[in-house]
Amino acid sequence: MESRSYQPPRGEAGAGWPPRRNQSKPNMAKKKRTVPVIGLAGGIAAGKSYVARLLAERGATVIDADAIGHELVTRPLVIRSIANAFGPGVLDPAGRIDRSRLAGLVFGTDELSTLRRKLLESIVHPAIHADVVRMLRRAKDSKDPPPMVVIDAPLLLESGWNKMCDLVLFVDAPRELRLRRAHRRGWSDLEFANREAAQRDVDWKRSLADVVIQSVEDPQEMARQIDELVQQVTES
């Protein structure tokens, strides 16, 4: 996707609902799209997937870019492209992509890791983007369209995919909480730091959001905030 108290973008005081909007940003009501599109943004382990799941429970169609990426690297053509770029060492004995080995090459703070990461992104991101666009079009053109579509993509803002969205929802959580959640995934402090370094900082992401939700670990509070968001979005 968490401490959820709604607050205006950029962490302004006087939080409340409806959130303040940056007047320079597009207003969903003005676009008059049949199916509103929400893009999820946030730091590593902020809880974006949890927010996406709550929205799905309320009828949203969720487009999970990570899931698309995981499926993508099982395709023979993509496997060959990655192996050609990074060498046979990224393959397991069965000839599949070894995700942990590949992650070790591309997630780091040194210049070589950055170059490798950009190379990997050049291979997989165009295909992921094409799948996202196709799934978005299918949902919006459906005879029985969902009340909203959610795009859950780690690099939503870095990749410019927010241009496909009517509203960007930033899922905010303190770094200490995000680190604890990363530990639950089995990540070390170093792995968390390296993956965080591969993205733009959270302040930059927050500044581009239309709505900021504070991530909490109280399920009832999370549900309450999501219900308010859904009401605001679907009634716009």
pLDDT for res 20: 43
Measured CA to CA, the distance from residue 59 to residue 62 in angstroms comes to 9
Give 89-126 pLDDT, tens digit per residue: 999 999 999 999 999 999 988 999 999 999 999 999 99
- Euclidean distance between CA atoms 127 and 101, whole angstroms: 22
109 closest CA partner among 198, 202, 201, 200:
198
Number of Cβ within a 10 Å radius of residue 190:
11
Res. 5: pLDDT tops 50: no
Measured in whole angstroms, how far is the alpha carbon of residue 80 from the centre of its chain? 27
Query: pLDDT tens digits for 201-236?
Result: 999 999 999 999 989 888 899 999 999 999 999 886
Q: Percentage of the chain with pLDDT > 70?
A: 86
What is the per-residue pLDDT for 108?
Answer: 86
Other residues' Cβ atoms within 10 Å of the Cβ of residue 45? 25
pTM over 0.95: no
Q: At what angle do helices 76-86 and 111-140 cross, to 10 degrees?
A: 160
Report all structural domains of the chain as residue ranges with CATH numbers, in order of start: 6-234 (3.40.50.300)
**CA–CA gap between residue 118 and residue 120 (Å, rounded):** 5
Who wins on pLDDT, 29 or 44? 44
